[in-house]
Structure 1
Amino acid sequence: MIVRTLEECQKTERRVVAENWESVRMLLRDDNMGFSFHITTIYANTDTHIHYQNHLESVYCMSGEGEIETTDDGKVYPIKPGTLYILDKHDEHQLRANKGVDMVMACVFNPPITGQETHDENGVYPLVD
Structure 2
Amino acid sequence: MPTVPKGIARWAYPYFPWNTDADFHRLVTRPSRKYRLLGRCTLLVRSVEDVVGSEYDVDWGNGTSRRLLVQADELGFSLTETYVQPGSESYLRYDNHQEVCYCVSGAGSVETADGLFDIKPGMLYAPGMGEPHILRSEHGMTLMCVFSPALQGPEKHLLTPGVHSSY
Question: Same fold per TM (> 0.5)?
Answer: yes
What is the match of residue 46 of structure 1?
Answer: 88
Point out which structure has higher relative CO (alpha carbons under 8 A, 6+ apart).
Answer: 1
* Rounded Cα–Cα distance in structure 2 between residues aligned with 1:120 and 1:111: 20
Deviations 1:93-128 (A, max 9, x none): 100002xx2100000001101011112464101xxx
- Alignment map for 1:18-97 (pairs within 5 Å): 18-70=60-112, 72-73=113-114, 75-97=115-137
1:6 matches 2:48: yes
* Rounded Cα–Cα distance in structure 1 between residues aligned with 2:90 and 2:80: 17
Identity %: 36
CA displacement at 1:18 relative to structure 2: 3.1
TM-score after normalising by structure 1: 0.88
* Rounded Cα–Cα distance in structure 1 between residues aligned with 2:97 and 2:129: 9
Question: Aligned to 2:146, which of 102, 105, 108?
Answer: 108
CA displacement at 1:89 relative to structure 2: 3.9
* Rounded Cα–Cα distance in structure 2 between residues aligned with 1:87 and 1:19: 20
* Rounded Cα–Cα distance in structure 2 between residues aligned with 1:107 and 1:90: 16
CA displacement at 1:91 relative to structure 2: 1.7
Aligned residues between the structures: 121
Which structure: greater strand fraction? 1
Contact 2:61–2:157 (CA under 8 A) maintained in structure 1: no
TM-score after normalising by structure 2: 0.69
Give the greater-gyration-radius structure (CA): 2
Which structure: greater helix fraction? 2
Deviations 1:58-91 (A, max 9, x none): 0000001110000x34x00001001111123432
Q: Unpaired segments of 5 or more residues in structure 2?
A: 1-42
Q: Unpaired segments of 5 or more residues in structure 1?
A: none
* Rounded Cα–Cα distance in structure 2 between residues aligned with 1:92 and 1:120: 15
